[in-house]
Chain A
Amino acid sequence: MSDTLVDYDEVLTRYEPVIGLETHVELGTASKMFCGCSTTFGAEPNTQTCPVCLGLPGSLPAANAAAIESTIRIGLALGCRIATWARFSRKNYFYPDIPKGFQTTQYDEPLCTAGHLDVEVDGETYRVEVERVHLEEDTGKNLHVGGSTGRIHGADHSLIDYNRAGIPLVEIVTRPIPGAGAKAPEVAKAYVTELREILVALGVSEVRMEQGNLRCDVNTSLAPIGSLEWGTRTETKNVNSLRSVERAVRFEMRRQAALLDEGQRIFQETRHFHEDTGSTSPGRSKEEATDYRYFPEPDLVPVAPDEEWVASLLAELPELPAARRTRLSDEWGISPTEMAWLVNAGAVELVSETVAAGASPGDARKWWLGDLARRANDAGTELGELAVTPQQVAELIGLISAGTINDQLARQALDGVLAGEGRPAQVVEARGLAVMGESDELVAAVEAAIEGNPDVADKVRGGKLQAIGALVGAVMKTTRGKADAATVKRMLEERLVGD
């Protein structure tokens, strides 16, 4: 079944979107939230479990100090108020992804509240209000067997791996974000991008979306322009890339507009995002929202962050991305607009690391925003997911600066690096990409070009210097791009033009 969609620009002529984001971040602690089990990704199923995270009778949880500290640091970075008294609660539900019968989370007394994050889209700043940052535990992973899609429908039974159950999970919830209009999808993406940068700067999580370290639920609603009330929202889950955050909002806006145009109402529901089609489909209905019977977790004592401790955590926060960008703009001599391009491309850290590895800021920007951005776009991935490191890009730039290769050969070298053939220098060596010096082979190619194009050569001799381009082209063709154009031009001039 495919949904009717309204053209995106048309949506905006009649409706105003309001978005909201709930972001789950798996912390990068060594051990789980309430027990000492390892959190290593990719371990064999059910090899990282114990009586506590399996909810066996008589086991008692003990809170991970590093997880609490990381949560407070995230709150501080988002300008939140840090609670002086916070508690864990039990969220009771029966679903096999949690063996205990409840998820330990924070309910009415979260660690951090009332923060904000400013994000920039096309030169305009949008303030995203953060309602709360709380700490909970992740759930196990279900594998549905028998269905063709790995989803529940048609599945015969489910298999569960509890390695992930109990890994500390921080949930960051925004307040509804009105007023973004046509930019709503981009604001949503910019928010998650900026949040991710902050988490990287804090070093609290690996934030690898493809591994599920960072997962987003995207709320979207539409209201007729001028309406005083917001519309009913849908909550799209399973949004696991930055690009998808934007796509999910855009799709929901177009889908909801079609329903509203027909006079239908939007049901508050959970929807699933499909990476392949960029569409959403209905999930479980929230009409019968479960009563989770939250109550304070009796097995864990309250957390009362000491003022001095919080003050020292605040003082020790690293330079945050926004401040860092301002400083880097100065150092690199670029405008806020140029910096915004780097941010949008997800290239700030990549360029910074490339510069740190020895490249000039100009060259680093040129490669990441140019050739590499094009490749990422063609492949439909993020820049940072390309199989090339900033150090390799710096090495490539170094080879160009040293005259070993030119830009064209560098692109071929990059092909090799991305294909897993090794570092740039190794690829240049293996593929024989180095620029030809004034070798016998190049001299022969230059002379062959002159002999093969006597008319052109005569024109150059006669003073029509611009005609030399055709001869340079001929030499480049013979040498399959490996010659340095400037060297070839000089060699041709030496032979055709007297001083």
Chain B
Amino acid sequence: MSTPSPKGQLTRDEVAHLAHLSRLAVSDEELDLFAGQLAAVLDAVAQVGKADVADVAPTTHAVPMTNVMRPDVARPSLPRDVVLAGAPAAEDGRFRVPRILGEEA
């Protein structure tokens, strides 16, 4: 993990790290562009912190809805070649990942 930046800022390194975690190929120019744009987004979101919420009950959802469910009906899945096209590596119809250390399956 790269070191978190001071509040209100987002470093170019952090954006590069996030891009790597997201498996996104980002050019140097884009890094500069996104670092600025994302910082602006974070600043905008940070304004929420100014609201007085002393009398507001904690919630996890913006809309007061419950019991949203779908009927138990099977629908077609994606074709396997499409599924595996998004994998970094595949073998025998399965996703291939580096060996997993320190744990037993």
Contact surface of A with B, Cβ cutoff 8 Å: 29-31, 36-39, 44-51, 54, 56, 62-68, 85, 87, 95-97, 99, 142-146, 151-153, 155-162, 272, 283-284, 296, 298, 300-306
Contacts and interface: CB of A to CB of B under 8 A. Distances in A.
Interface of B: 60-61, 63, 65-78, 80, 83-84, 86, 91-105
A301 B71 CA distance: 16
Q: Which of B70, B80, B105 has the most CB of A within 10 A?
A: B105
A37 B70 CA distance: 13
Q: Which of B68, B100, B104 has the most CB of A within 10 A?
A: B104
5 contacts: A30-B74, A46-B93, A144-B105, A158-B99, A159-B96
A44 B81 CA distance: 12
Contact of A47 (B75, B80, B95): B80
A213 B104 CA distance: 21
B72 A64 contact: yes
Contact of A160 (B72, B95, B102): B95
Contacts of B101: 152
A37 B84 CA distance: 16
Given A44-B93, A158-B97, A301 B74 contact: no
A118 to B, nearest CB: 31
Contacts of A95: 100, 103
A443 B74 CA distance: 66
Do most interface residues of chain A lie in helix, strand or loop, or is the interface mixed?
loop
B104 A37 contact: no
A73 to B, nearest CB: 14
Contacts of A65: 69-72
Contact of B80 (A44, A85, A156): A44
A157 B67 contact: no
A146 B99 CA distance: 10
Given A96-B95, A162-B95, A36 B73 contact: yes
Contacts of A30: 72-74
A96 B84 CA distance: 14
Given A31-B73, A95-B103, 20 more contacts: A36-B73, A36-B75, A38-B77, A44-B80, A48-B77, A49-B78, A54-B78, A54-B86, A66-B72, A96-B100, A144-B100, A152-B104, A153-B104, A157-B98, A158-B97, A159-B94, A162-B83, A284-B102, A298-B60, A303-B67
